[in-house]
Structure 1
Amino acid sequence: MLVVDDEEDILEIARLSLERLAGWSVVTASSGPDALQMARTESVEAVLLDVMMPGTDGPATVALLKADEATRHIPIVLLTAKAQSSDRQELNKLDIAGILQKPFDPVSLAGEVATVLGWDDG
Protein backbone atom coordinates (compact mmCIF):
# COMPACT_ATOMS: atom_id res chain seq x y z
CA MET A 1 0.00 0.00 0.00
CA LEU A 2 1.24 3.46 -0.91
CA VAL A 3 -0.06 6.28 1.29
CA VAL A 4 0.31 9.80 -0.13
CA ASP A 5 -0.28 12.95 1.93
CA ASP A 6 1.59 16.24 2.32
CA GLU A 7 0.97 16.24 6.10
CA GLU A 8 3.61 14.17 7.88
CA ASP A 9 1.43 13.37 10.91
CA ILE A 10 -1.35 11.96 8.72
CA LEU A 11 1.18 9.86 6.80
CA GLU A 12 2.52 8.44 10.04
CA ILE A 13 -0.90 7.70 11.55
CA ALA A 14 -2.11 6.00 8.37
CA ARG A 15 1.12 4.00 8.02
CA LEU A 16 1.03 2.79 11.61
CA SER A 17 -2.66 1.96 11.38
CA LEU A 18 -2.32 -0.09 8.20
CA GLU A 19 0.90 -1.83 9.24
CA ARG A 20 0.11 -2.63 12.86
CA LEU A 21 -3.63 -3.26 12.71
CA ALA A 22 -3.90 -4.86 9.28
CA GLY A 23 -0.38 -6.22 8.83
CA TRP A 24 0.00 -4.52 5.45
CA SER A 25 3.32 -3.42 3.99
CA VAL A 26 3.16 0.37 3.60
CA VAL A 27 5.34 2.89 1.80
CA THR A 28 4.68 6.63 1.90
CA ALA A 29 5.10 9.69 -0.28
CA SER A 30 4.49 13.36 0.44
CA SER A 31 3.75 14.62 -3.08
CA GLY A 32 2.28 13.57 -6.41
CA PRO A 33 5.63 13.24 -8.20
CA ASP A 34 7.04 11.23 -5.28
CA ALA A 35 3.92 9.02 -5.39
CA LEU A 36 4.45 8.29 -9.07
CA GLN A 37 8.09 7.40 -8.45
CA MET A 38 7.22 5.13 -5.50
CA ALA A 39 4.43 3.43 -7.46
CA ARG A 40 6.90 2.74 -10.29
CA THR A 41 9.66 1.33 -8.07
CA GLU A 42 7.83 -0.40 -5.20
CA SER A 43 5.46 -3.36 -5.29
CA VAL A 44 2.27 -1.41 -4.57
CA GLU A 45 -1.14 -3.11 -4.49
CA ALA A 46 -3.12 0.11 -3.97
CA VAL A 47 -2.74 3.84 -3.36
CA LEU A 48 -4.41 5.84 -0.58
CA LEU A 49 -4.14 9.40 -1.90
CA ASP A 50 -4.89 12.77 -0.32
CA VAL A 51 -6.92 15.09 -2.55
CA MET A 52 -5.64 18.48 -1.38
CA MET A 53 -1.86 18.78 -1.69
CA PRO A 54 0.27 21.70 -2.86
CA GLY A 55 1.66 21.47 -6.38
CA THR A 56 0.45 18.22 -7.88
CA ASP A 57 -2.84 17.60 -6.07
CA GLY A 58 -4.74 14.31 -5.78
CA PRO A 59 -6.67 14.52 -9.08
CA ALA A 60 -3.49 15.48 -10.96
CA THR A 61 -1.67 12.57 -9.30
CA VAL A 62 -4.47 10.20 -10.37
CA ALA A 63 -3.93 11.42 -13.95
CA LEU A 64 -0.16 10.81 -13.69
CA LEU A 65 -0.63 7.31 -12.29
CA LYS A 66 -3.26 6.37 -14.88
CA ALA A 67 -1.16 7.75 -17.77
CA ASP A 68 1.85 5.62 -16.86
CA GLU A 69 1.88 2.07 -18.26
CA ALA A 70 3.66 0.79 -15.14
CA THR A 71 1.13 2.21 -12.67
CA ARG A 72 -2.24 2.48 -14.44
CA HIS A 73 -3.46 -0.86 -13.06
CA ILE A 74 -3.02 0.17 -9.41
CA PRO A 75 -6.34 0.94 -7.70
CA ILE A 76 -6.57 4.37 -6.05
CA VAL A 77 -8.61 5.39 -3.02
CA LEU A 78 -8.89 9.12 -2.44
CA LEU A 79 -8.78 10.56 1.05
CA THR A 80 -10.51 13.93 1.34
CA ALA A 81 -11.75 16.48 3.83
CA LYS A 82 -14.09 17.84 1.15
CA ALA A 83 -17.54 16.87 2.32
CA GLN A 84 -19.77 18.71 -0.15
CA SER A 85 -21.58 16.44 -2.55
CA SER A 86 -20.57 18.56 -5.56
CA ASP A 87 -16.89 18.04 -4.70
CA ARG A 88 -17.43 14.30 -4.25
CA GLN A 89 -19.32 14.05 -7.56
CA GLU A 90 -16.36 15.60 -9.39
CA LEU A 91 -13.93 13.25 -7.65
CA ASN A 92 -16.08 10.23 -8.51
CA LYS A 93 -15.60 11.07 -12.21
CA LEU A 94 -11.92 10.15 -11.84
CA ASP A 95 -10.71 6.60 -12.51
CA ILE A 96 -10.61 5.66 -8.81
CA ALA A 97 -11.82 2.79 -6.64
CA GLY A 98 -13.51 5.10 -4.13
CA ILE A 99 -13.35 7.95 -1.65
CA LEU A 100 -12.80 7.95 2.11
CA GLN A 101 -13.44 10.90 4.41
CA LYS A 102 -10.87 12.82 6.45
CA PRO A 103 -10.44 12.82 9.33
CA PHE A 104 -10.35 9.01 9.40
CA ASP A 105 -10.49 6.60 12.33
CA PRO A 106 -7.10 4.87 12.51
CA VAL A 107 -8.72 1.76 14.00
CA SER A 108 -11.15 1.29 11.12
CA LEU A 109 -9.00 2.67 8.27
CA ALA A 110 -7.76 -0.69 6.95
CA GLY A 111 -11.27 -2.14 6.95
CA GLU A 112 -12.64 0.88 5.11
CA VAL A 113 -9.86 0.71 2.51
CA ALA A 114 -10.37 -3.06 2.08
CA THR A 115 -14.11 -2.55 1.62
CA VAL A 116 -13.65 0.16 -1.02
CA LEU A 117 -11.14 -2.02 -2.87
CA GLY A 118 -13.28 -5.14 -2.63
CA TRP A 119 -10.59 -7.05 -0.73
CA ASP A 120 -11.91 -9.97 1.30
CA ASP A 121 -10.12 -9.09 4.52
CA GLY A 122 -8.61 -5.96 5.96
Structure 2
Amino acid sequence: MSELKRLAYVEDDPDIRAIAELALVDIGGFDLSLFSCGQAAVEGMEGAGPDLILMDVMMPGMDGFETVRRLRKIESLSATPIVFMTAKAQVQDIQQYKDLSLSGVITKPFDPMSLGQDVRDIWRAIQSGQAHEPSVLTAWQRQ
Protein backbone atom coordinates (compact mmCIF):
# COMPACT_ATOMS: atom_id res chain seq x y z
CA MET A 1 0.00 0.00 0.00
CA SER A 2 1.51 3.33 -1.03
CA GLU A 3 1.70 6.19 1.42
CA LEU A 4 -0.49 9.23 0.88
CA LYS A 5 1.75 12.31 0.84
CA ARG A 6 0.68 14.91 -1.71
CA LEU A 7 -2.80 16.42 -1.76
CA ALA A 8 -4.39 19.12 -3.86
CA TYR A 9 -7.41 21.06 -2.61
CA VAL A 10 -9.73 23.13 -4.80
CA GLU A 11 -11.89 25.55 -2.77
CA ASP A 12 -13.15 29.02 -3.66
CA ASP A 13 -13.79 30.19 -0.06
CA PRO A 14 -10.53 31.61 1.36
CA ASP A 15 -11.57 30.95 4.98
CA ILE A 16 -12.35 27.28 4.33
CA ARG A 17 -9.12 26.96 2.33
CA ALA A 18 -7.16 28.35 5.29
CA ILE A 19 -8.81 25.98 7.78
CA ALA A 20 -8.25 23.00 5.48
CA GLU A 21 -4.61 24.01 5.00
CA LEU A 22 -4.10 24.11 8.76
CA ALA A 23 -5.88 20.76 9.15
CA LEU A 24 -4.06 19.00 6.33
CA VAL A 25 -0.57 20.48 6.61
CA ASP A 26 -0.04 21.37 10.28
CA ILE A 27 -2.17 18.63 11.82
CA GLY A 28 -2.26 16.01 9.05
CA GLY A 29 1.34 16.35 7.87
CA PHE A 30 0.55 16.38 4.14
CA ASP A 31 2.18 18.33 1.31
CA LEU A 32 -0.65 20.47 -0.05
CA SER A 33 -1.26 22.42 -3.24
CA LEU A 34 -4.13 24.89 -3.05
CA PHE A 35 -6.30 26.11 -5.92
CA SER A 36 -8.92 28.85 -5.58
CA CYS A 37 -11.17 27.76 -8.46
CA GLY A 38 -11.76 25.05 -11.01
CA GLN A 39 -9.99 26.89 -13.81
CA ALA A 40 -6.85 27.33 -11.68
CA ALA A 41 -6.97 23.63 -10.84
CA VAL A 42 -7.24 22.58 -14.49
CA GLU A 43 -4.34 24.87 -15.41
CA GLY A 44 -2.03 23.96 -12.52
CA MET A 45 -2.98 20.56 -11.13
CA GLU A 46 -0.73 18.49 -13.40
CA GLY A 47 2.33 20.31 -12.08
CA ALA A 48 1.23 19.65 -8.49
CA GLY A 49 1.31 15.88 -9.03
CA PRO A 50 -1.13 15.02 -6.23
CA ASP A 51 -1.74 11.50 -4.93
CA LEU A 52 -5.33 12.55 -4.18
CA ILE A 53 -7.48 15.59 -5.01
CA LEU A 54 -9.96 17.19 -2.62
CA MET A 55 -12.53 19.49 -4.20
CA ASP A 56 -15.48 21.68 -3.40
CA VAL A 57 -18.60 21.18 -5.53
CA MET A 58 -20.22 24.61 -5.52
CA MET A 59 -17.76 27.09 -7.00
CA PRO A 60 -18.40 30.10 -9.22
CA GLY A 61 -17.46 29.74 -12.86
CA MET A 62 -16.45 26.10 -13.22
CA ASP A 63 -18.16 23.94 -10.59
CA GLY A 64 -16.72 20.74 -9.14
CA PHE A 65 -18.49 18.51 -11.67
CA GLU A 66 -17.01 20.30 -14.68
CA THR A 67 -13.61 20.54 -12.99
CA VAL A 68 -13.57 16.76 -12.45
CA ARG A 69 -14.54 16.14 -16.08
CA ARG A 70 -11.71 18.38 -17.30
CA LEU A 71 -9.13 16.94 -14.90
CA ARG A 72 -10.00 13.42 -16.07
CA LYS A 73 -9.00 14.46 -19.62
CA ILE A 74 -5.44 15.19 -18.43
CA GLU A 75 -3.61 11.90 -18.92
CA SER A 76 -1.41 12.12 -15.81
CA LEU A 77 -4.48 12.89 -13.64
CA SER A 78 -7.01 10.59 -15.26
CA ALA A 79 -6.75 7.95 -12.51
CA THR A 80 -5.99 10.25 -9.56
CA PRO A 81 -8.59 9.70 -6.83
CA ILE A 82 -10.92 12.66 -6.28
CA VAL A 83 -12.88 13.32 -3.10
CA PHE A 84 -15.55 16.00 -2.91
CA MET A 85 -15.67 18.11 0.25
CA THR A 86 -19.14 19.60 0.21
CA ALA A 87 -22.31 20.40 2.10
CA LYS A 88 -24.21 18.78 -0.81
CA ALA A 89 -24.59 15.18 0.35
CA GLN A 90 -28.24 14.37 -0.17
CA VAL A 91 -29.29 11.07 -1.79
CA GLN A 92 -29.72 12.65 -5.25
CA ASP A 93 -26.27 14.28 -4.95
CA ILE A 94 -24.59 10.97 -4.10
CA GLN A 95 -25.83 9.41 -7.35
CA GLN A 96 -24.20 12.23 -9.33
CA TYR A 97 -20.95 11.62 -7.43
CA LYS A 98 -21.08 7.91 -8.28
CA ASP A 99 -21.54 8.81 -11.94
CA LEU A 100 -18.27 10.79 -11.77
CA SER A 101 -16.41 7.81 -10.27
CA LEU A 102 -15.39 9.76 -7.19
CA SER A 103 -13.47 8.01 -4.44
CA GLY A 104 -15.29 9.66 -1.57
CA VAL A 105 -17.25 12.56 -0.14
CA ILE A 106 -16.41 14.42 3.06
CA THR A 107 -19.28 16.60 4.19
CA LYS A 108 -18.92 20.16 5.38
CA PRO A 109 -18.63 21.29 7.99
CA PHE A 110 -15.60 19.07 8.48
CA ASP A 111 -13.70 18.63 11.72
CA PRO A 112 -10.22 20.14 11.26
CA MET A 113 -8.80 17.83 13.92
CA SER A 114 -9.91 14.67 12.10
CA LEU A 115 -9.77 15.78 8.45
CA GLY A 116 -6.34 14.26 7.88
CA GLN A 117 -7.47 10.94 9.30
CA ASP A 118 -10.69 11.06 7.24
CA VAL A 119 -8.59 11.50 4.10
CA ARG A 120 -6.27 8.65 5.12
CA ASP A 121 -9.27 6.38 5.75
CA ILE A 122 -10.57 7.02 2.23
CA TRP A 123 -7.04 6.46 0.85
CA ARG A 124 -6.82 3.09 2.64
CA ALA A 125 -10.16 2.05 1.15
CA ILE A 126 -8.93 3.04 -2.32
CA GLN A 127 -5.62 1.19 -1.88
CA SER A 128 -7.34 -1.96 -0.62
CA GLY A 129 -9.75 -1.96 -3.55
CA GLN A 130 -12.79 -1.39 -1.36
CA ALA A 131 -13.68 2.02 -2.81
CA HIS A 132 -15.99 0.95 -5.62
CA GLU A 133 -18.38 3.75 -4.82
CA PRO A 134 -17.84 6.96 -2.90
CA SER A 135 -17.42 6.65 0.84
CA VAL A 136 -19.44 9.41 2.46
CA LEU A 137 -18.03 10.69 5.72
CA THR A 138 -20.59 12.91 7.42
CA ALA A 139 -20.20 14.91 10.59
CA TRP A 140 -22.18 12.34 12.61
CA GLN A 141 -19.93 9.49 11.43
CA ARG A 142 -16.83 11.31 12.70
CA GLN A 143 -18.11 11.67 16.25
TM-score by length of 2: 0.79
> Which ranges of structure 2 fall in alignment gaps of 5 or more residues?
1-6, 128-143
Deviations 1:42-76 (A, max 9, x none): 23111100011011100111101111112112110
Number of positions where the alignment pairs a residue of Structure 1 with one of Structure 2: 120
Is 1:101 matched with 2:107? yes
C-alpha distance in 1, partners of 2:82/2:108? 16
**Superposition deviation, residue 38 in structure 1:** 2.4
AA matched with 2:85: L
Q: Is the 8 A contact 2:28 2:115 kept in 1?
A: no
Bigger radius of gyration, 1 or 2?
A: 2
RMSD between superposed Cα atoms in Å: 1.4
Is 1:41 matched with 2:47? yes
> Which ranges of structure 1 fall in alignment gaps of 5 or more residues?
none
Q: Is the 8 A contact 2:85 2:105 kept in 1?
A: yes
Query: Counterparts in 2 of 1:30-109, with a 5 A limit?
Result: 30-109=36-115
**Superposition deviation, residue 107 in structure 1:** 0.4
Q: What SS is found at the alignment partner of 2:77?
A: coil
**Superposition deviation, residue 32 in structure 1:** 0.8
Q: Is the 8 A contact 2:46 2:77 kept in 1?
A: yes
Alignment partner, residue 27 of structure 1: 33
Could you tell me the percent identity over the aligned residues?
Answer: 38
Alignment partner, residue 16 of structure 2: 10
C-alpha distance in 1, partners of 2:35/2:74? 17
Structure 1's consecutive aligned runs of 4 or more residues displaced over 3 angstroms after TM superposition are none
